[in-house]
């Protein structure tokens, strides 16, 4: 294990077929922190999260999580080690009710951490409580986003990978998401989120890694990024 | 009236068996997305295993029912073994390869069953306590069938409870919708899929085992059942249990009453029904469209037009083939003539499957129509050979024009099932219309004209016609028509957006492919001097697909090479052993396992790996 980091990614490369998407991503998530992975559209943010999760077949580099080497593991083993993945396009199971969606995510509790239950999740996302019997396909986008996060929490992860949590959501829902992320952080969860929205990242993240064309370019605290106008213009501005 | 009610009841009994088997098929398809041809084989194995057990213990009720259940469990275990050994390695392979693999299993099971139980029909014991019949409205009705009628809905309820009231069922339904997401939530798909294969196969086995007291167990049960089960699954909507139940009831009744109303065309009715349902309700009665495109293969590298070197190679090869009669005897020429004909058949299918991306399960229909068209002209109109040969592609092309209009309205598996439906309709008409086609006696005496009666001359004629047609097909692939077809395959939406009428091109391709297959059929009829309904049966369609796949989808020369390889293998295996199906099946399975992306795809991934990506870093996830 490298020092105090929970997740450590070194020299991560990934391909889709022949397309070389990631050419060298380095990042570290420390226990209890929220790290924002920032970059423009197509920079490789989503692919980085998918590669960590084992959802990209062709990848190279080292990915270590809590003392485990994730590189050769199948997706479900990575999830069971305590990495929770919330995809960008939500992907709720539309045929299943809210309750059943949560059931799919359920995994045994992790020692030393209070286990998530549907009841606790309904405290975190009050909307879900009223919708328990509703089918995933009959929910609004914001409700689906809450459900996706709740479903992943049912696996009691130690690290959350959040792919573009604010994308395509109404401002009110974005605020709820930010509040939820802060609550989770306060409970000791570590979060790696990919984000284009500087305001959202600024509201929740401690540090940021900026990537461009599949390589990490800048690492530092959120406050430093807010001050470094040159960096923002070079890698984030449209 | 009373008679009709009893007929209705016997339709219900048929439906119960049909439901048991097709519920297993629909569950397996829902989760794995694999078109499992071996499902019928598991049904047959269930019957054979139950026959053996019931012979031993079946004189007491516990013995009989214990035997039936043990047979179902045994078959379930075999299904699980197939998942672990074979299917698990193929979830990321092209759809067609999965199909091919399960067809390999069909062949293996065929010969294994024949070896273990012999080729004779086996009559089983009747079920103890259920031997007699009861009076229903004054008509006798078998007690055993009454039990089946009750069993069907019970199994439906049990399955629905299993899928909606247990964690396992919830996971299965989640994986049916989104396998990748399910894995990302920590669900071990491998275990889930193995258990689904166990359940699905056990249901097939149970269906087979319950048939033992009703009918003789034989080696033809597998194909007959798998085709019917597919019809049920497609009519009900793929992956839907209530759909499979309703479809089973409808088809059971169709069969019970069809035989009263249209005794001549009972076989057609079921397929006609499926065609009508699919045209009216594209996803079956209870089915829904897929969410998002299925995880298809990435488009392969584009076809390369021939350079001068390839043209030279083709000409040299043709010249060499034309020179064979100088050195070879009649037997070699007969085999070679067949290879050339099959190469034409496979290439015509490749136009649809390789270039158009449309998988046809019924290409044999056009092969058979061509053969019968030529044979009928010779027998009934006294036509000479050449006009009869010329008529073959016309007859087949006309048939394909009509069927194609319906088929191209659907895509993917539904297209495949529609082609199967049309092929089965053509086959059953041929089989049952004794007055014209002679039924399974076929048509004999379709010999070549005097000038072409030597094996060598007929071989050269075949080579000339087939070679010319292949050249035309090649031209078509590189004509705007071919480009449009390939554009429609890779992205129908984008092709439409640039102004290509994709459906129309597919329709024309269907017709052209049918016509070319018809010519192959005509040539085949004269090569053998006879035609039989088996020419248009399912196995021929599958053989054609196997040839295309062996050669590879992404090359134009592949299908011809695949035809030669396949026919060579089959002929050799038949010569060497009685268990040639077993050999062929094993070869197919080994090939599929060795090259899960297809022979050509294998070469490509080797190439990719050398270019940089670490291809083996992660387990398959799709």
pLDDT score of B122? 93
Determine, for residues A71 and B613 on separate chains, whether the beta-carbon distance falls below 8 Å. no
Which positions ≥6 away from B293 have C-beta within 8 Å? none
User: Which chain B residue lies closest to A152 (C-alpha atoms)?
Assistant: B185
The pLDDT of residue B293 is 40
Q: Is B615 on the interface with A (CB under 8 A)?
A: yes
Q: Are B103 and B581 in contact (CB under 8 A)?
A: no
ipTM value for the complex: 0.92
Indicate the pairing of strand B443-444 with strand B530-531: antiparallel
**Composition of chain B by helix, strand, coil, percent to 5:** 75, 0, 20
pLDDT average, residue stretch B239-246:
92
Q: Are A188 and A140 in contact (CB under 8 A)?
A: no
Under an 8 A CB cutoff, do A56 and B612 touch? no
Helix (H, G, I), strand (E, B) or coil at B94: coil
Angle (CA) B296 B297 B302, round 5°: 135
Least confident range from A77-81, A132-136, B339-343, B590-594: namely: B590-594
CB contact under 8 A, B186 and A76: yes
Q: In this structure, which long-range contacts are made by residues B492-501, counting pairs with CB atoms below 8 Å and at least 24 apart in sequence? A: B492/B411
Q: Which residue from A13, A100, A152 is facing B185, i.e. has the nearest CB?
A: A152
Any bridge partners for residue A23, and if so which? A13
Has residue B612 got a pLDDT over 60? no
pLDDT band for position B606 (50/70/90)?
low
Amino acid B445: pLDDT: 87
- CB of B301 within 8 Å of a chain A CB? The answer is no
What's the rounded Cα separation, in Å, for the pair B580 and B107? 9
Tell me which of A14-28, B135-149, B293-307 is least confident. Answer: B293-307
Tally the domains of chain A: 1
Q: Is A164 left (phi over 0), alpha (psi -120 to 50) or beta?
A: left
| Residue A3 clears pLDDT 60, i.e. is over it | no
Of A59, A93, A96, the CB nearest to B617: A59
Asked if the Cβ–Cβ distance from A94 to B171 is below 8 Å, we say no
Q: Please check whether residue A60 lies inside any domain of the structure.
A: yes
β pairing state of A19-29 and B139-142: unpaired
User: Domains of chain B: which residue ranges?
Assistant: 2-220, 321-538
pLDDT in tens, A107-116: 998 887 788 9
Question: Around Cβ A94, how many Cβ atoms within 10 Å?
Answer: 16
| pTM metric for this prediction | 0.86
| B172–chain A nearest CA distance, Å | 9
Task: Look at B501-510, B550-559, B560-569, B608-617 and tell me which has the smallest mean pLDDT.
Answer: B608-617
- The CATH code of the domain that includes A77 is 3.40.50.300
- Comparing A110-124, B15-29, B77-91, B154-168, which segment has the lowest mean pLDDT? A110-124
Most confidently predicted of A110-119, B301-310, B338-347: B338-347
Question: Which residues of B fall within a CB distance of 8 Å from A58?
Answer: 613-615, 617-618
Domain for residue A91, yes or no? yes
Two tokens, residue B406: 């319906």
**pLDDT tens by residue, B109-122:** 999 999 999 999 99
Please name the residue of chain B whose CA is at the shortest distance from the CA of residue A62: B617
- Look at residue A82 and tell me whether its pLDDT is greater than 90: yes
pLDDT, mean of residues B83-91 = 89
pLDDT at B209 over 60: yes
Across the range B241-250, mean pLDDT stands at 95
Q: How confident is the model at residue B302 (pLDDT cuts 50, 70, 90)?
A: low
CB pair distance less than 8 Å for A59 and B620: no
Average pLDDT, chain B: 87
pLDDT of residue B291: 47
Give the integer Cα–Cα distance in Å for B368 and B540: 9
- pLDDT tens per residue, range B314-330: 888 888 888 888 888 88
Mean pLDDT of B355-368: 92
B174 and A CB contact within 8 Å: yes
What does B48-92 look like in DSSP terms, one character per residue?
A: HHHHHHHHHHTTSHHHHHHHHHHHHHHHHHHHHHHHHHTGGGGTT
**Chain B residue closest in CA terms to A87:** B181
**A146 has a pLDDT exceeding 50:** yes
What is the enclosing helix (H) or strand (E) of A10? Answer: strand A7-16
User: Mean pLDDT over residues B392-398, rounded?
Assistant: 97
SS3 category, A148: helix
pLDDT score recorded for residue B295:
40
Q: Which domain holds residue A97?
A: 7-235
Residue B95, pLDDT score = 73
CA distance B374 to B529: 11
Looking at the complex, report in whole angstroms how far the Cα of residue B250 sits from the nearest Cα belonging to chain A. 26
Do the bridges between strand A207-212 and strand A7-16 make them parallel or antiparallel, or are there none, so unpaired?
A: unpaired
Q: Does B240 touch chain A (CB under 8 A)?
A: no
With beta carbons less than 8 A apart as the criterion, state whether A9 and A26 touch: yes
Give the three-state DSSP class for B363: coil
Q: How far apart are the first and last CA of chain B?
A: 55
On whether the CB atoms of residues B63 and B34 are closer than 8 A, the answer is no
Residues of A with CB under 8 A from a CB of B: 13, 15, 17-18, 20, 53-60, 71-76, 79-80, 85, 87, 91, 93-96, 100-101, 103-107, 151-152, 154-155
Using the Cβ of B173 and the Cβ atoms of chain A, whether some distance falls under 8 Å is answered with yes
Whether A1 is covered by a domain: the verdict is no
| A2 domain residue, yes or no | no
DSSP states along B255-316: HHHHHHH-GGGHHHHHHHHHHHHHHHSTT-SS----SS---PPPP-PPPPPP-HHHHHHHHH
Average pLDDT rounded to a whole number, residues B134-138: 83
Cβ of B184 under 8 Å from any chain A Cβ? yes
Q: Coil, strand, or helix at residue B593?
A: helix
Cβ separation of B180 and A151 shorter than 8 Å? no
- Residue B82 burial (CB count, 10 A): 23
Contact A104, B192 (CB under 8 A): no
The residue with greater pLDDT, B18 or A231, is B18
pLDDT for residue B596 = 65
Q: Let me know: does B613 contact A18? Beta carbons within 8 Å.
A: yes
pLDDT at B510 over 60: yes
The segment with the largest mean pLDDT, out of A130-139, B60-69, B430-439, B605-614, is: B60-69
Q: Is B617 on the interface with A (CB under 8 A)?
A: yes
| pLDDT score for B603 | 61
Residue A155 C-alpha, separation from nearest chain B C-alpha, in angstroms: 7
At residue B239 the predicted structure's pLDDT band, cuts being 50, 70 and 90, is confident
Determine, yes or no, domain membership for A214.
yes
Q: For residues B37 and B543, what is the distance between their CA atoms, to the nearest angstrom?
A: 13
Q: What's the rounded Cα separation, in Å, for the pair A158 and B446?
A: 76
Q: Considering only residues B383 and B551, tell me which one the structure prediction assigns the higher pLDDT.
A: B383
pLDDT grade, residue B553 (50/70/90)?
confident
How high is the pLDDT of residue A238? 56
CB distance from B171 to chain A under 8 Å?
yes
- From chain A, pick out residues whose CB is under 8 angstroms from the CB of B171: 104
């Amino acid at each position: 294990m490298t020092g105090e980091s929970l997740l450590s990614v070194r020299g991560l490369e990934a391909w889709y077929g022949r397309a070389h998407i990631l050419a060298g991503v380095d990042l570290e998530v420390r226990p209890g922190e929220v790290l924002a992975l920032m970059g423009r559209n197509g920079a490789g943010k989503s692919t980085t999260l998918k590669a960590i999760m084992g959802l990209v077949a062709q990848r190279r580099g080292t990915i270590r999580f809590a003392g485990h080497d994730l590189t050769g593991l199948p997706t479900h083993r990575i999830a069971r080690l305590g990495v929770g993945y919330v995809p960008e396009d939500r992907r709720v199971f539309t045929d299943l009710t809210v309750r059943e969606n949560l059931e799919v995510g359920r995994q045994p509790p992790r020692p030393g951490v209070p286990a998530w239950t549907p009841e606790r999740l309904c405290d975190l996302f009050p909307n879900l409580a009223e919708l328990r019997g509703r089918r995933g396909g009959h929910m609004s986008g914001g409700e689906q986003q809450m459900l996706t996060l709740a479903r992943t929490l049912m696996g009691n992860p130690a690290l959350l990978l959040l792919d573009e949590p604010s994308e395509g959501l109404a401002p009110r829902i974005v605020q709820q998401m930010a509040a939820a992320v802060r609550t989770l952080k306060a409970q000791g969860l570590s979060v790696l989120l990919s984000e284009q929205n500087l305001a959202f990242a600024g509201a929740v993240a401690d540090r940021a890694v900026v990537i461009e064309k599949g390589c990490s370019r800048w690492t530092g605290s959120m406050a430093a990024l807010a001050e470094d106008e040159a960096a923002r213009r070079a890698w984030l501005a449209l | 009236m009373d008679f009709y009610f009893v007929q209705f009841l016997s339709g219900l009994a048929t439906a119960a068996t049909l439901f048991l088997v097709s519920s297993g098929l629909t569950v397996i398809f829902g989760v794995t997305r694999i078109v499992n041809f071996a499902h019928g084989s598991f049904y047959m194995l269930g019957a054979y295993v139950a026959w053996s057990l019931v012979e031993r213990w079946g004189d007491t009720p516990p013995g009989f029912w214990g035997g039936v259940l043990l047979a179902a469990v045994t078959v379930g275990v075999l299904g699980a073994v197939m998942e672990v050994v074979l299917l698990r390695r193929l979830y990321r392979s092209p759809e067609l390869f999965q199909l091919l693999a399960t067809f390999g299993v069909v062949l293996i099971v065929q010969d294994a069953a024949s070896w273990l139980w012999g080729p004779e029909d086996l009559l089983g014991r009747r079920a103890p306590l259920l031997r007699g019949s009861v009076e229903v409205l004054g008509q006798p009705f078998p007690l055993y069938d009454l039990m089946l009628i009750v069993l069907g809905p019970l199994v439906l309820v049990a399955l629905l409870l299993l899928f909606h009231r247990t964690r396992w069922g919830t996971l299965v339904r989640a994986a049916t919708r989104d396998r990748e997401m399910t894995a990302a939530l920590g669900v071990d798909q491998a275990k889930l899929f193995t258990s689904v294969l166990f359940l699905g196969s056990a249901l097939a086995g149970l269906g087979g085992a319950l048939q033992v007291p009703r009918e003789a167990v034989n080696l033809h049960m597998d194909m007959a059942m798998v085709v019917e089960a597919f019809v049920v699954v497609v009519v009900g909507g793929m992956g839907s249990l209530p759909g499979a139940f309703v479809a089973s009831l409808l088809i059971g009744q169709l069969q019970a009453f069809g035989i009263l109303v249209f005794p001549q065309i009972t076989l057609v009715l079921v397929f006609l029904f499926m065609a009508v349902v699919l045209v009216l309700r594209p996803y079956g009665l209870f089915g829904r469209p897929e969410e998002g495109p299925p995880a298809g293969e990435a488009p392969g590298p584009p076809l390369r037009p021939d350079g001068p070197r390839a043209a030279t190679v083709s000409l040299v090869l043709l010249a060499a083939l034309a020179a064979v009669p100088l050195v070879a005897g009649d037997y070699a020429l007969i085999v070679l003539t067949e290879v050339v004909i099959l190469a034409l058949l496979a290439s015509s299918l490749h136009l649809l499957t390789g270039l158009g991306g449309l998988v046809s399960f019924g290409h044999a229909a056009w092969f058979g129509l061509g053969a019968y068209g030529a044979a009928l002209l010779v027998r009934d109109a006294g036509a000479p050979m050449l006009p009869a040969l010329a008529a073959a592609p016309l007859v087949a092309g006309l048939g394909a024009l009509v069927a194609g209009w319906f088929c191209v309205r659907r895509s993917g598996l539904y297209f495949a099932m529609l082609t199967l439906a049309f092929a089965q309709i053509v086959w059953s008409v041929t089989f049952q219309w004794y007055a014209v086609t002679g039924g399974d006696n076929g048509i004999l005496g379709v010999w070549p004209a005097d000038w072409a009666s030597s094996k060598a001359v007929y071989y050269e004629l075949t080579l000339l016609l087939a070679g010319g047609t292949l050249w035309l097909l090649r031209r078509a692939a590189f004509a705007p028509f071919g480009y449009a077809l390939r554009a429609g395959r890779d992205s129908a939406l984008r092709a439409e957006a640039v102004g290509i009428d994709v459906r129309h091109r597919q329709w024309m391709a269907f017709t052209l492919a049918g016509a070319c297959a018809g010519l192959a059929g005509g040539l085949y009829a004269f090569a053998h001097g006879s035609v039989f309904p088996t020419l248009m049966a399912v196995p021929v369609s599958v053989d054609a697909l196997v040839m295309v796949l062996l050669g590879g989808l992404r090359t134009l020369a592949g299908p011809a090479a695949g035809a030669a390889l396949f026919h060579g293998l089959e002929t050799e295996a038949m010569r060497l052993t009685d268990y040639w199906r077993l050999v062929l099946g094993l070869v197919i399975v080994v090939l599929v396992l060795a090259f899960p992306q297809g022979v050509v795809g294998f070469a490509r991934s080797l190439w990719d790996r050398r270019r940089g990506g670490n291809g083996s870093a992660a387990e398959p996830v799709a």
